[in-house]
Amino acid sequence: MATTAYEATLAGRRLAASPGLGKRIAASWRRNRAGYLFLAPWLVGFFGLTLGPTIASLYLSFTDYDLLTPARWAGFENYDYALFRDQRLGHALSVTFHFVLWSVPLKLTVALALAMALDRSVRGVTIYRATFYLPSLLGASVAVAMLWRQIFGAEGLINQLLLLVFGFSGPSWVTHPDYALWTLVVLAIWQFGSPMIIFLAGLRQIPQELYEAAAMDGARPLRQFFRITLPLLAPVIFFNLVLQTIEAFKAFTQAFIVSGGTGGPVDSTMFYTLYLYLEAFANFRMGYASALAWLLLIIIGIFTGIAFLSSRYWVYYEDEGR
C-alpha cells in the first residue's frame, strides 16, 4: 500500500519532465524494443487467440449463426431469449449456483483445515504437503473424471465399501438425479490443493509472538483460531474465495465427462458451461452460445463485485491501521 503513493509521485515527476508525446513514444520504443520482441510470442497469442475471438464472440452474440451458413444479425434476440424465455437455462443456472454455493465454502474449509494441520515442523511434512497437493494436479483432468464415474458407479468402489462395511449397497451415485451433482461437489472439494498451498503461505506470515502472547494470557487454541488466525488470514481467505468462486462458475470438464456429455440424468448435472457448450456444438447455435458466454461473464462479475464490496466489512489488512 505504501509503495503505491511513492510510485505515483515518481510517475507524476516523469510526466512533468516529459517532452512532446511523439518523441516520448519514440524514445520509449527505442528503449523497450528488445522487451517487446521477447514479449511478441505472448502478444501474438493474446491478440490472436484471446482478444480476437473474444471480440468476435461479442459480435456473434448479436447474430444467428449455425456454422454452416454465414452469421445473420439478430439484434438483442439472443439476450432476450436467454433472459426471459429459456427455461432450461434457468435450470442450468440453479444447478450451477447449487454447485458453487456448496463446493466453494466446503473446499476452502477443507483446504484451511489441512493447511493448519500441515503448518508445523514435523519430519517429512513436505512430503505430506506434496501428497495432499496431488489431487489438484489431477483433479480437473479427464482421466480423474472418468475414474470418478467408476468409483461412484453402480458397482464402483463406494458401493463395494458400503457393502463390505454396512452390508448394503447404494444406487449408482453418478447416474442418479438425487446424487449426481453431489459427486461433482465432492470431486471439487477433493481438489483443495491450490487454496491449501496459499493458506499455508498465509499462515506462515502470522507472527508467532501473537500466539505466544495469547497463550500466556490463557487463550485456548479455539479462541486463538478465531481471534488471531482467522482475522489475520482474512486477506488470504478473500483471495481464495474470489479465485475459487470464479473457478467453480467455470467448471466444465467434470460435468461433461461424468455425465457423458449430456448433463444428465434428468439435467441434474447441467452446468451453465455445459449448457453453453451443448447449445454451441450440439445444437449449433453459436450466436446464442456466445450470448450465454457474455452473460456468464456478467454473472461472475457480479459475484466477484459482491465479494469485493463485502470485503470491506470482514477483510483487514495489517497495514491499513484501522
Partner 1 sequence: MSNRITRRGFNGLLASGASAAILASTGRLALADERLRLIWWGNPERDKRTLAVVDLYQKANAGITVDPENYAWGDYWQKLATQAAGKNLPDVIQMDYRYIFEYARRGQLADLTPFVGKELDLADFDPNQLDSGKVDGKVYGVSMGANSMSWVYNKTVLDRIGGELPDQTKWTYDDFVAIGNDLKGKLPEGMYFVAERASQENMLQTWVRQRGKELYTDDGQLAFDVQDLEDFWAFYFMLQKTGLTPPADIMAMDTGKMEENGLIVGNTLFNFHHSNQFVAAQNLAKDEFAIVMIPNQAGGRAGQYLKPSMFLSMAANSPDPSAAAKLLNFFITDEEANDILLIERGVTGDASIRERVSEVLTDTEKKIIAYLNVVSTHVSPLPPPPPKGAGEIDRAIRPAWEAIAFGQKSVKDAAKEFYEFAKTTLARA
Nearer to partner 1, 168 or 313 (CB): 168
The reply on whether position 273 binds partner 1 by CB under 8 A is no
CB of residue 66 to partner 1, shortest distance in Å: 8
CB of 302 to partner 1, least distance (A): 28
Q: Taking CB under 8 A as the rule, does residue 281 contact partner 1?
A: yes
Stretch that binds partner 1, among 66-74, 190-198, 233-241, 289-297 (CB under 8 A): 66-74
Considering only residues 1, 21, 68, 165, which one is a binding residue for partner 1 as defined by CB under 8 A?
A: 68
For 72, phi then psi, to 5°, come to -120, 130
Instruction: Please identify which residue in 136, 253, 262, 304 interacts with partner 1, judged by CB under 8 A.
Output: 262
CA distance 264 to 146: 15
Which CB, 81 or 239, lies closer to partner 1? 81
| Region near partner 1 per CB under 8 A, out of 92-100, 171-179, 224-232, 294-302 | 171-179
Helix (H) / strand (E) element for 73: namely: strand 72-73
Identify residues 284-313 at the interface with partner 1 (CB under 8 A).
284, 286
Strand partners, 73: 63
Binding residues for partner 1, total number by CB under 8 A: 28
Helix (H, G, I), strand (E, B), or coil: what is residue 240?
A: helix
Residue 266, φ and ψ in degrees, nearest 5: 45, 45
* Closer to partner 1 by Cβ: residue 39 or 113: 39
Single residue of 55, 117, 163, 282 touching partner 1 by CB under 8 A: 282
All three cell numbers of 168, joined, read 448394503
Which position has the grid cell 461473464?
Answer: 297
C-alpha distance across the termini of the chain, in Å: 14
Q: Kindly state whether residue 261 participates in binding partner 1, applying the rule CB under 8 A.
A: yes
Q: Is 264 in the site for partner 1 (CB under 8 A)?
A: yes
- Candidate residues 1, 17, 21, 34; the one interacting with partner 1 per rule CB under 8 A: 34
DSSP classification of residue 252: -
The binder of partner 1 chosen from 61, 78, 103, 175 (CB under 8 A)? 175
Three-state SS at 64: strand
**Does 32 participate in binding partner 1 (rule CB under 8 A)?**
no
Question: What are the residues facing 63 on neighbouring strands?
Answer: 73
CA–CA dist 275, 290 (Å, integer) = 12
Integer Cα distance of 69 and 79 in angstroms? 21
Instruction: Let me know if 37 is exposed, middle or buried by CB neighbors in 10 A (0-12, 13-18, 19+).
Output: exposed
- Residues forming the site for partner 1 (CB under 8 A): 34, 66-69, 153-154, 171-172, 174-178, 260-267, 278, 281-284, 286
